[in-house]
A and B are shown apart, each in its own frame.
Chain A
């Protein structure tokens, strides 16, 4: 499709449909956009042989890439530095175990059971090592754990877990050269300066209609992303760390974050998620559904088995430990970012990409579907045990 505006209207129209689907079924917009992208490509491919949605068009790639970078930055900016300072020991240990368990576990299963080559297996390990800060945070809000020491530690651990994922994604698939060294040194200097420079710069020149803050942040993200790609790494790596380093300043500027969200959700991320969905091959999934099942259980088990005893080692109750271990087994955004990186860089095939995205979606959706299908208020489940669950107690605290 050569007409830019027609193609743009098709993509934004799909984004609109995805948003309506998300509203009707109360599912996340990201999930809806991935599914709409997959279905749209399937339908277009069936109606017009060899026709494509245009996901490889340069301007769509740019918008989608920017969406991934800004989304990653905003995700990093949600970190609460105060929590991390007080709970860094538990957070680091739980976060690293949460990362390394599935990273090595899924890599091994992809390689030895699915017989994937070494590099695709490592990519599977990276894509399935992620956790969803948002899912954990949402459940904590429901149960009131967001105000407890346990909840704060687990939340900070999720950030460490995802940091492990983006570092692995950024460094494993690029050869270590002088360029890598330059990227690392420049990054360290920039990350050290930013928390001091940014608030002062915004204080002096910010708060105007010219949106200086947005331009400054986009410049930083593009410049560091460009340096990362030049060195053979991935642009989301510096974006996440910039988000974390600015969490205490930019992250607390509610108005700025809201403006960035509008830009991200209104224009950028629909292109990213629809594009990610359009590359999923439904025929490949149907041809070998077992690969999805193997990867799904690999992710769940390799998260739960090492994490559960680790969480218990910090003296947390059995029930809450198991609960949050399960919650940490989800992860949509970084999972798709990692899989798309692998596809774009020729690390994995389209079929392998499809299995990974399906697994990422499955790990995010299946627990929710089960919970909704056999609905029972969670606090009533707790009262069935003789020992009054600490979950119920935490919920009571939340209700106050």
Chain B
């Protein structure tokens, strides 16, 4: 026993990570919660291909995303060592909301934590808000960090 509170409800946390300051805030929030609740964390990043995907550009986008997230994951893992929290990282390809929802179901996640991007009205109309879509379809509670 580490002296942490055993919690039957929130044992697995998923954090949507895209390298933005908002998602970094979500990671910090997840660390605090995980320490209090003795929970494990999955840091989950999604590479979104341009639409419609075109030859060569798709591979380029995926390569860039892999490099970008690997660098971010490395920093998070270093931070995790100081927090005594069990952290795993993963990356998927596709629509961020869809992939987060699906991964949360597959892994039996108890709480999804997302950062709010605060996109412009046009951008939200065109792309939709990832956090709104996750809130709508996720099987578990969702926390949106402002």
Task: Name A31's contact: one of B54, B105, B106, B137 (CB within 8 Å).
Answer: B54
- Asked if A235 CB lies within 8 Å of chain B CBs, one says no
Given known pairs A265-B57, A375-B133, A378-B98, the reply for A142 and B52 (CB within 8 Å) is no
Residues in A neighbouring B127, C-beta threshold 8 A: 25-26, 372
Residues in A neighbouring B97, C-beta threshold 8 A: 375, 377
Q: Compute how far the CA of A376 lies from the CA of B136 in the bound complex, rounded to whole angstroms.
A: 10
Residue of B nearest to A140 (CB): B93
Asked if B60 and A265 make an inter-chain contact with CB atoms under 8 angstroms apart, the answer reads yes
Q: Which of B3-11, B26-34, B43-51, B77-85 contacts A (4 or more CB under 8 A)?
A: B43-51
Residues in B neighbouring A281, C-beta threshold 8 A: none
Asked if B94 and A261 make an inter-chain contact with CB atoms under 8 angstroms apart, the answer reads no
Q: Compute how far the CA of A264 lies from the CA of B57 in the bound complex, rounded to whole angstroms.
A: 10
Most buried by A among B60, B102, B133: B102
Residues in A neighbouring B48, C-beta threshold 8 A: 26
Asked if A138 and B93 make an inter-chain contact with CB atoms under 8 angstroms apart, the answer reads yes
Task: Name B51's contact: one of A26, A78, A378, A380 (CB within 8 Å).
Answer: A26
- Asked if B55 CB lies within 8 Å of chain A CBs, one says yes
Size band of the A side of the interface?
Answer: 35 or more
Asked if A133 and B52 make an inter-chain contact with CB atoms under 8 angstroms apart, the answer reads no
- Asked if A74 CB lies within 8 Å of chain B CBs, one says yes
Asked if A365 and B52 make an inter-chain contact with CB atoms under 8 angstroms apart, the answer reads yes
Q: Compute how far the CA of A24 lies from the CA of B97 in the bound complex, rounded to whole angstroms.
A: 18
Asked if B102 and A377 make an inter-chain contact with CB atoms under 8 angstroms apart, the answer reads yes
Residues in A neighbouring B137, C-beta threshold 8 A: 376-377, 380
Asked if A132 and B56 make an inter-chain contact with CB atoms under 8 angstroms apart, the answer reads no
Asked if A134 and B93 make an inter-chain contact with CB atoms under 8 angstroms apart, the answer reads no
Asked if B58 and A71 make an inter-chain contact with CB atoms under 8 angstroms apart, the answer reads no
Q: Compute how far the CA of A195 lies from the CA of B103 in the bound complex, rounded to whole angstroms.
A: 41
Main secondary structure of the interface of A (DSSP, over half): helix
- The interface size of chain B toward A, counting residues with CB under 8 Å, comes to 36
In the complex, which residues 59-91 of chain B have their Cβ closer than 8 Å to any Cβ of chain A? 59-60, 62-63, 90
Looking at the assembled complex, report how far the CB atom of A252 sits from the nearest CB atom of chain B, in whole angstroms. 12
Looking at the assembled complex, report how far the CB atom of A299 sits from the nearest CB atom of chain B, in whole angstroms. 14
- Asked if A141 CB lies within 8 Å of chain B CBs, one says yes
Residues in B neighbouring A396, C-beta threshold 8 A: 106
Q: Compute how far the CA of A242 lies from the CA of B84 in the bound complex, rounded to whole angstroms.
A: 53
Given known pairs A27-B51, A142-B95, A368-B51, the reply for A137 and B58 (CB within 8 Å) is yes
Asked if B50 and A22 make an inter-chain contact with CB atoms under 8 angstroms apart, the answer reads yes
- Asked if B101 CB lies within 8 Å of chain A CBs, one says yes
Residues in A neighbouring B60, C-beta threshold 8 A: 258, 261, 265
- Asked if B92 CB lies within 8 Å of chain A CBs, one says yes
The 5 closest A-B pairs by CB, nearest first: A142-B94, A75-B55, A138-B53, A141-B93, A364-B52
Chain A residues with CB under 8 Å of chain B are: 22, 24-31, 71, 74-75, 78, 132-135, 137-138, 141-142, 254, 257-258, 261, 264-265, 330, 332-333, 364-365, 368, 372, 375-380, 395-396, 398-399
Name 12 extra pairs, CB < 8 A, besides A30-B54, A375-B95, A380-B137. Answer: A28-B50, A29-B57, A133-B55, A134-B52, A135-B52, A135-B53, A138-B58, A258-B63, A332-B52, A377-B137, A378-B98, A399-B102
Residue contacts A-B, CB under 8 angstroms, 19 given:
A24-B123, A28-B53, A71-B56, A132-B53, A132-B54, A134-B56, A141-B62, A142-B92, A142-B94, A142-B95, A142-B99, A261-B56, A265-B56, A364-B52, A372-B51, A395-B106, A398-B92, A399-B92, A399-B106
